[in-house]
Amino acid sequence: MQTSEWLAYFEHNAGRASPQTPARLAPLPAKLQEPLVHALQCFQLGEAGEGRIAQQARQSTDPALDDNLKESIAFYVREEGRHATELARLIRAMGEATITKHMSEQLFERSRRLMGLRAKMAVMAVAEVVGAAFYMTLAERVPCPHIADVMRVISADEDRHLEFQRGFFKRVLATTPVLLRPIVALGLWFWFLNVLAAGIAAVAFGHSRLFKALGIGPWRFSWYCARRFYRLAHVPTEVEVSEQVDLPSDLVGGTY
């Protein structure tokens, strides 16, 4: 996909309908309801916190960005905000309220403010890996069709965001001088793997009660995330100059 095609995609997807959520959902089994609400509250807070990146992208002189990508990032951030709205609606339907702060989110936000645009995009990419695996796990295992619908729609968006991130980091390498590409590639690998390990650990073990109630352990969820990361993992080793993004045929959908 060329950058103009990504912009066209985001413009079109801005009009997608949100899943219908009743004003009140029937309670889930007690061992699932509480940890699920807590996890959704944390993810809802995280989805709502990316606004500064769009402004930073618009002002950036990064050679990997053209006008189409700058505008696409703005749409990307707005989609994350829509996810926050959809999750908030779901949380209220489960009889709970959203939260305004969480220790892990505060630490994440403060550290992110110190980063450059590329590092922030890498952190967002890792969030897409963990988020897509998390939402699809809920879609397939939570015994409530309304919750499953919301999770499936958000997971599909996150998968497309992951594709977009592939394209962005491909352009990062393509616009890097040839002699420096191995160094940049190694730096990206190091950054991705460290942030990914921290992100997976925070979710897999921080929400272990939820995963136990869903019938999986934290290690299996970590494996789901690793499978998702495969969609990014080969990007830092590619050095072709093409602006096209070659997408695996299985990239969109709910399979692990």
pLDDT tens column, 169-213: 999 999 999 999 999 989 888 888 888 999 999 999 999 999 999
Structure tokens at 227: 């499978």
Asked, for residue 71, whether it belongs to a domain, the answer is yes
Asked, for residue 256, whether it belongs to a domain, the answer is no
Asked, for residue 129, whether it belongs to a domain, the answer is yes
CA distance 192 to 197: 8
Domain count, the chain: 1
Asked, for residue 206, whether it belongs to a domain, the answer is yes
Asked, for residue 35, whether it belongs to a domain, the answer is yes
Asked, for residue 244, whether it belongs to a domain, the answer is no
Asked, for residue 242, whether it belongs to a domain, the answer is no
pLDDT for the residue numbered 232: 64
CA distance 11 to 158: 16
Per-residue pLDDT tens digits for 141-178:
999 999 999 999 999 999 999 999 999 999 999 999 99
The total number of residues shown for the chain amounts to 256
Residue-by-residue DSSP string for 4-51: HHHHHHHHHHTTPPPPP--SSPPPPPHHHHHHHHHHHHHHHHHHT--H
pLDDT for the residue numbered 51: 67
pLDDT(247) > 70: no
pLDDT(251) > 60: no
pLDDT(14) > 80: yes
Of the candidates 107, 119, 104, 115, the one whose C-alpha atom is nearest the C-alpha of residue 190 is 119
Written as one letter, the residue type at 248 is: P
The model's pTM: 0.85
Provide the mean pLDDT of the chain.
Answer: 85
Per-residue pLDDT tens digits for 90-135:
999 999 999 986 555 555 555 555 578 888 898 889 889 999 999 9
CA separation (Å) from 239 to 45, 61, 160, 179? 36, 21, 22, 11
112 CB-near residues (< 8 Å, 6+ apart):
120, 123
Q: Whose structure tokens read 């009140």?
A: 24
Asked, for residue 21, whether it belongs to a domain, the answer is no
CA distance 19 to 218: 28
pLDDT for the residue numbered 18: 94
Identify the domain containing residue 179 by its residue range.
Answer: 30-237
Written as one letter, the residue type at 162 is: L
For residue 79, what is the domain's CATH number?
1.20.1260.10
Structure tokens at 112: 């992110």
Residue 85 or 114, more confident: 85
Structure tokens at 167: 């394209």
CA distance 128 to 134: 10
Written as one letter, the residue type at 106 is: Q
CA distance 34 to 15: 33
